[in-house]
Amino acid sequence: MKHLTPEKLAQLSSYPGIIDSHIHLDSQAFASDLDQCLSRAARAGVSRMLLPSTDESSSRRILQLTQQHPQLSGGLGIHPHQAAEFDPQRSPRVWRDFLQQSKWAAIGETGLELHYDFCPLQTQKQSLQAQIELAAETGLPLILHCRLAEEPLYEMLQPWAGKVSGVVHCFTGGWEWALKFLDLGFYIGVGGLVTLPKAAEVHEVAEKVPGDRWLLETDGPYLSPVPFRGFRNESCLLPLVVERIATLRKISAPEVVRQTAENAFSLFRL
C-alpha cells in the first residue's frame, strides 16, 4: 500500500475536533510509522480515534496502544472475517479478561460478511450473537460490519432493539436499509466511499441521515477518499470526506465535524 508523500499532505485542510470512529491502527500497515500518522492526524484536526479489534491479538495490541496514547479508544471483539477464531467456550472468557484490564469504548468489530467467503455464515452468526450478548451485558455499543448482509444482520439485531445500540460502519446498504437500522436505534458510519463520484447510494445516505445519528470514519488502512485512491487511508485524510459530506448535506464543514463529534461522544461515551 502506497504511503502519502509530503507534497500530497501539504494539500490537505484541517478541521479541529474531528473524531475518527473507525481506524485499524493496530494493523501491520501502520507498524512502521504510527507516530507520524498520529501527528498528521492531529494536524488535520482529528482529536480522537476509535480502534475496533479484528481478533484476539489485535485486541491485545489495541489495549497497548490505548494505554500509550490518550487520544485512542478501543473496541473489543472479533471481525466477521476472523469469525472462525470464535470459540464459544474460550472467547467470552478472553473478552471478560480484556474488559477487566482496561476501559473499552465498544464491542466489535463484529457483523456479517457475505461478499468474501472467509468464514461460513453460521460461524459468523455465532460470533456476532455472542458479541451482541456481550454488548447488552456491558452496556457498550456495537461496531458492526455489514457487507451484502443487511437482511441477516437486521434479523439478528431486531430482538435486541432498545437493549443494544451501536453503529453500522461504512454503510453501503442504501437508504431503505439505513432507515431500518436507524429505527433499531443504530448510527450510520460514513467514510471515504462517499467521495467516489458514482457511489449514488452512499451519497443518498450521507445526505439524508439525521444529524444526530451518524459518525465519521476512515476504516484505514482501507477505503481511501478521492484523490488518494490506492494510497493507505489514514485519519489525516478525513477533511476530504468532511468537505464532500458538507456539500451533500448543504452545511458547513465545521458543522459536519460538530455533529459527528457530538454523536461519537454520546454513543461511545468518550
Interface residue list for Zn ion (CB under 5 A): 109, 219
User: What whole-number distance in Å separates Cα of residue 235 and Cα of residue 217?
Assistant: 8
Q: List the one residue out of 234, 209, 207, 231 whose CA is nearest residue 219.
A: 234
Residue whose CB is less far from Zn ion, 109 or 150: 109
User: Minimum distance between the CB of residue 108 and Zn ion, rounded to whole angstroms?
Assistant: 9
User: Minimum distance between the CB of residue 222 and Zn ion, rounded to whole angstroms?
Assistant: 7
User: Minimum distance between the CB of residue 166 and Zn ion, rounded to whole angstroms?
Assistant: 13
SS3 state at 102: coil
Residue whose CB is less far from Zn ion, 45 or 221: 221
Residue whose CB is less far from Zn ion, 21 or 195: 21
Phi, psi of 168 (to 5 degrees): -95, 105
Bridge pairing between strands 214-216 and 46-52: unpaired
Give the cell for residue 155.
434479523
Question: Which residue, chain included where needed, has cell 480522537?
Answer: 48
User: Minimum distance between the CB of residue 5 and Zn ion, rounded to whole angstroms?
Assistant: 25
Q: List the one residue out of 174, 161, 235 whose CA is nearest residue 207.
A: 174
Q: List the one residue out of 190, 53, 216 whose CA is nearest residue 131.
A: 53
Residues 85 and 78 sit within 8 Å (Cβ to Cβ): yes
SS3 state at 185: coil
Residue whose CB is less far from Zn ion, 58 or 260: 58
User: Minimum distance between the CB of residue 165 and Zn ion, rounded to whole angstroms?
Assistant: 18
Residue whose CB is less far from Zn ion, 150 or 219: 219
Residue whose CB is less far from Zn ion, 20 or 109: 109
User: Minimum distance between the CB of residue 171 and Zn ion, rounded to whole angstroms?
Assistant: 12
Angle between helices 150-157 and 121-138 (to 10 degrees): 40
